[in-house]
């Protein structure tokens, strides 16, 4: 009897930890997509344009990506629970400011900057704690399935929930909804006990953090400028690439001097993890890119209101829910490589349907099969992709790899909105052609993701992480 109690206690503690982590990933992913269906009322209310709202959305995703690696590093210095709760506080303040925004500038301050910074602080602890509390492949797959499923559902259901709130009340209430969920997470997170003590004396690479953030910002902002001046795009991306090269030179120099950089080059020596990171990036690029493109198309070209636009995305939400709920069962029956490959195949078929079935005369129903398949496909591969990356490293490197993993995923989200959104917005004079081109580009990128997944080994070796004390 004593033995069964000893086993049940850690399991119960782990389940209590999982709920606030799942809600945190849900609300951060929700924030990345719910504004897509509110573009028309927000642009009118804030006296801006579709490009203005696209800028705010992309900047939010970009700030997350640029600061996720520093955020992962801070979990070791501040502790995972403290970093998580600070992130929640910053995010909540940003949501309230966004709800009261009188113009685009204040919206960018609240949503793009504060919510982005808050997300970068709170998301790395989500994956670190999940990895530490769930040690074996099956239980970790279940935990990651819940977390990534919540992320996928948040991204896919964001348009529907945001559309309902914006139509029934006002778009500002969608940000108050986020603040309310954050308050609930704050209460639930009191149960979390940090399994590893914080190390406040650990050094933090400020120079590396600045260089990595500036390089990523310049590249994405260059993409956004493509519909204004191609020369600006080229210059910004070249400077951004140069800054990132300087960042890696700085990292190598610190390692040679025996110091601890922001990101160790050893993280990139694991071939399996590198391929997993590529698949993560492309999954979120495709999902968020499609969400933005279809939302803008429905509102600007078809004249749909927020709730009508959100209802269309219900098909993608259902697809993600079905595949995410089966994450544990799939992990037990099929290899992670097989699941990722199958996910890309289903996603590519869905994108193809969105291209060939949608035209000016098409009805709402024509969007549903493609969106369902995209949702199901992305949901199918989210968990194994994260598991491939996180399980490739031991416990003492979870802070670094979690930050890198989340940065790569969110960079994919910002790339998707920037690339596909810029193609669509710059060609609204011929909407059918620009829609097809934007979706086609996302399809090509999904095919690249499939090619990358082919290089994964059938059975990657798992790094076993000892269970943390409950």
Predicted confidence (pLDDT) at residue 184 exceeds the cutoff of 90: yes
- Please check whether residue 297 is in contact with residue 457, taking contact to mean a CB–CB distance below 8 angstroms: no
Within 10 A of 164 (CB to CB), how many other CB atoms are there? 17
The C-alpha atoms of residue 207 and residue 262 are separated, in whole angstroms, by 9
The C-alpha atoms of residue 265 and residue 422 are separated, in whole angstroms, by 33
Predicted confidence (pLDDT) at residue 159 exceeds the cutoff of 70: yes
Predicted confidence (pLDDT) at residue 375 exceeds the cutoff of 50: yes
Question: Given this model, what pLDDT does residue 129 score?
Answer: 85
Which whole number is the average pLDDT over 324-343? 82
Higher-pLDDT residue of 279 and 151 is 279
Q: What is the CA radius of gyration of the chain?
A: 21
The C-alpha atoms of residue 221 and residue 106 are separated, in whole angstroms, by 19
- Average model confidence (pLDDT) for the chain? 84
Q: Output the 3-class SS for the chain.
A: CHHHHHHHHHHHHHHHHHHHHHHHHHHHHHHHHHHHHHHHHHHHHCCCCHHHHHHHHHHHHHHHHHHHHHHHHHHHHHCHHHHHHHHHHHHHHHHHHHHCCCCHHHHHHHHHHHHHHHHHHHHHHHHHHHHHHCCCHHHHHHHHHHHHHHHHHHHHHHHHHHHHHHHHCCHHHHHHHHHHHHHHHHHHHHHCCCCCCCCCCCCCCHHHHHHHHHHHHHHHHHHHHHHCCHHHHHHHHHHHHHHHHHHHHHHHHHHHCCCCCCCCHHHHCCHHHHHHHHHHHHHHHHHHHHHHHHHHHHHHHCCCCHHHHHHHCHHHHHHHHHHHHCHHHHHHHCCHHHHHHHHHHHHHHHHHHHHHCCCCCCCHHHHHHHHHHHHHHHHHHHHHHHHHHHCCCCHHHHHHHHHHHHHHHHHHHHHHHHHHHHHHHHCCCCHHHHHHHHHHHHHHHHHHHHHHHCCCCCCCCCCCCCCCCC
CATH superfamily of 2-204+262-453: MFS general substrate transporter like domains (1.20.1250.20)
Percent of the residues in the chain that have a pLDDT greater than 70, as a whole number: 89
Predicted confidence (pLDDT) at residue 12 exceeds the cutoff of 80: no
Question: Given this model, what pLDDT does residue 398 score?
Answer: 67
Predicted confidence (pLDDT) at residue 292 exceeds the cutoff of 60: yes
- Please check whether residue 320 is in contact with residue 149, taking contact to mean a CB–CB distance below 8 angstroms: yes
Predicted confidence (pLDDT) at residue 466 exceeds the cutoff of 60: no
| CA distance from start to end of the chain | 19
pLDDT tens track for 102-153 = 999 999 999 999 999 999 999 888 888 887 777 766 677 678 778 877 877 7
Higher-pLDDT residue of 328 and 422 is 422
Predicted confidence (pLDDT) at residue 5 exceeds the cutoff of 50: no
pLDDT tens track for 206-249 = 999 999 989 988 988 888 777 677 788 889 999 999 999 999 99
- Which residue ranges make up each domain of the chain? 2-204+262-453, 205-261
pLDDT tens track for 383-435 = 888 888 877 887 667 667 777 887 888 888 888 888 888 887 766 556 677 88
């Amino acid at each position: 009897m004593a033995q069964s109690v000893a086993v049940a206690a850690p399991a119960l503690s782990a389940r209590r930890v999982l709920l606030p982590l799942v809600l945190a990933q849900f609300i951060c992913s929700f924030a990345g997509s719910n504004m897509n269906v509110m573009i028309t009322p927000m642009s009118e209310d804030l006296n801006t344009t579709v490009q203005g709202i696209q800028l705010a959305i992309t900047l939010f995703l970009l700030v997350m990506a640029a600061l996720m690696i520093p955020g992962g590093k801070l979990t070791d210095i501040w502790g995972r629970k403290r970093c998580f709760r600070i992130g929640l506080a910053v995010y909540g303040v940003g949501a309230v400011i966004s709800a009261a925004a009188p113009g685009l500038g204040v919206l960018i301050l609240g949503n793009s900057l504060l919510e982005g910074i808050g997300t970068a602080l709170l998301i790395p602890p989500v994956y670190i704690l999940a990895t530490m509390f769930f040690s074996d492949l099956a239980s970790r797959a279940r935990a990651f399935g819940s977390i990534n499923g919540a992320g996928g559902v948040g991204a896919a259901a964001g348009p529907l929930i945001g559309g309902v709130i914006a139509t029934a009340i006002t778009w500002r209430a969608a940000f108050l909804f986020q603040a309310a969920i954050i308050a609930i997470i704050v209460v639930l997170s009191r149960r979390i006990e940090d399994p590893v003590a914080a190390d406040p004396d650990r050094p933090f690479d400020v120079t590396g953090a600045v260089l990595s953030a500036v390089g990523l910002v310049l590249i994405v902002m260059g993409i956004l400028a493509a519909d204004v001046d191609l020369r600006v795009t080229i210059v910004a991306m070249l400077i951004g690439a140069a800054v990132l090269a300087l960042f890696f030179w700085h990292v190598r120099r610190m390692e040679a001097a025996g110091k601890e950089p922001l990101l160790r080059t050893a993280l990139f020596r694991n071939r399996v993890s590198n391929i997993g990171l590529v698949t993560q990036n492309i999954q979120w690029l495709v999902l968020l890119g499609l969400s933005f493109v279809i939302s803008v198309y429905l509102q600007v070209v078809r004249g749909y209101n927020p709730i009508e636009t959100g209802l269309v995305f219900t098909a993608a939400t259902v697809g993600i829910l079905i595949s995410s709920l089966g994450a544990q069962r799939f992990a037990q029956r099929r290899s992670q490589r097989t699941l990722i490959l199958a996910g890309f195949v289903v996603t590519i078929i869905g994108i193809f349907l969105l291209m060939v079935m949608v035209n000016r005369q098409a009805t709402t129903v024509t969007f549903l099969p493609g969106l369902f398949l995209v949702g199901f496909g992305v949901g199918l591969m989210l968990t194994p992709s994260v598991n491939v990356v996180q399980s490739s490293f031991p416990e003492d490197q979870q802070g670094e790899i979690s930050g890198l993993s989340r940065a790569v995923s969110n960079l994919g989200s910002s790339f998707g909105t920037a690339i596909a959104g810029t193609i669509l917005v710059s060609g609204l004079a011929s909407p059918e052609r620009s829609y097809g081109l934007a979706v086609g580009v996302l399809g090509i990128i999904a095919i690249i993701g499939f090619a990358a997944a082919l290089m994964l080994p059938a059975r990657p070796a798992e790094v076993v992480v000892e269970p943390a004390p409950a």
